[in-house]
Structure 1
């Protein structure tokens, strides 16, 4: 089998066989296929696409390239969740205790962030002592005993995807639905969950900028899940502005507490409850979405959800006092208020620009080995639909740096104003199952 023939086959619009896909993935992972040939194939895939069977085969080849986590010792249905990423996305930290409160086993594998802010693991490490590296026995014990556990992903989970993604990142071949779908789903399949709820973001702070693109990706990933015998639901949610009011790490943990205490921002609360309700249905706790949503709202109102968060922190070695006393989380030295440059309604916010601002303040990583400042970030005082007067505070920057002029200017440029009040935002666009 000559690799150049496979490049040509895909260039001509042909479909790669299962054996050919495994040959490609195994060869590139082992180093027998050079970057320049793999780059050519990836570009051909970007232009010609892949059919459903090819995408499923590519996903499975990624899964088989490394470790697979066996969760058979965990009782009942194991439910996981994945987000395609966004600004201010702390939903995972909300749904773990919320869904576990309903008696569903939540076995969550999460990663670190590279870009705007930290990933879920980085956010949790804002809590003093919180342990994100669990042994297999610890992970299984926690899920069986407390219905929940969260841990960093194994270094050898889908290594083929990691290597190919790094190449995609420098060859302008990231924006391919088949390649994105296989990358996301391979991690979920290898993580061992029985059911997966996918949060597909759309808007200025998401990878998919249009609803049509987001829907195509969501449908593709659901098809992959079903073809590999995983119960899979995708929810297309809004990311036209940062989710909630906090962007960073420690301050996002603080906002998680607020949501679970019933004091959360409407967009973050609704998105989190929607995802959690679908997870609870897949986990067998409720017969339908409406009953699950209503029951989980009650879990928040009664205080059971925030108590479950406190339990999660305690069983993973963290200081549970931070849940009742969020001021014990890392605090930034400086807080700079960003003022509105004009009056009117906030009609749009460039969420990606806000995310980059957070990174400039120290909340994210430019390079993989950069250290995160857990206290850094920003608070969105004004969001889309809010009325502001010139000089009002629209955002507060939190940082240990004395000068953050670049971040401040970027935040100012992210806000757009109009004399006319904008239409309300749809937080949930579509559910695909």
Structure 2
């Protein structure tokens, strides 16, 4: 349980104490970057299991290991089952003299506090950041807007936005999106429309997420045809359509049993090289169970998950951009076994971005470690790994290598992703 006195001025902040600790460095104990990635993945999985099985002694042992770094802690915090469990991680780390917090770990803690509506603890953490209790950690107006929006505190979002606008005449598009989305969620349609109008008048360019908010609100309001009309004109405005938009519309069409339009929508989705997200796969599964997907419906059948693959949760450490909103989904279909400790079943952690970064040099040791990891490569996993390569050469090496792996065959999605990288 989190103890409020850690934030009090009299006893000293938990975060202030953590910042005084000194990291000790030693020779890199890992023979390759992939082996380091796999080690981190195993530790993150162990921490996630310990948090869910209430194994305090195991958690303490894991977090006090000298090799635990900010990468491991950041991802462990992001996948923590509750704010209390995340705070227990922070508490235990006080005793690890080798560990010091970074912007990643602090932001991860703030994110889960915001999602859990722990306003008091979030405010204390923000105060500690502003008091320079952490070196090289700063909080921006956009950070605050996102955290307050996660809590659902519209007034705080608006106050922060006003402060932001007072400092900069040209605020970013995403700040408008946050305010517009909150108004829409609270049913204040006229205010949401007003924000969209201000965005245009004040010279901010609406992006994909702007129109995602509009489409989602129209669908939720029962105005499916209007949402489809907005969606249809996006290419004419040179706005990229996203997997999230396809998913929202497909789910809306399935709910009113307009299955022929679902098929047409998904054929467009395939033509644009987009794979369905998890929520849409559930809708397709319901269509299949209802007999609305036949064997000759190749597009829909190909989109359904492969029965040999388990659904595995992992965090994709990508900043969402206007081109692909759905890349930040935390669960997907990749292949690993399900971990189980003390009756707790947990899907293995996997991060395509970190894996791609580990493969940038494409050394023989890295390739050997990758082969020994025994991943079952799927279209979605390959696409996500390809997306995160910084070097086209390394991406091409991986593309050719994975083509020779058992059970995997390149398709239109992976080929299109590779062509985009090469172009």
**TM band (smaller chain):** under 0.3
Relative contact order, CA 8 A, sep 6+: which one is greater?
Answer: 1
Task: Name the one with the larger strand percent.
Answer: 1
Q: TM-score, normalised by structure 1?
A: 0.26
Q: TM-score, normalised by structure 2?
A: 0.26
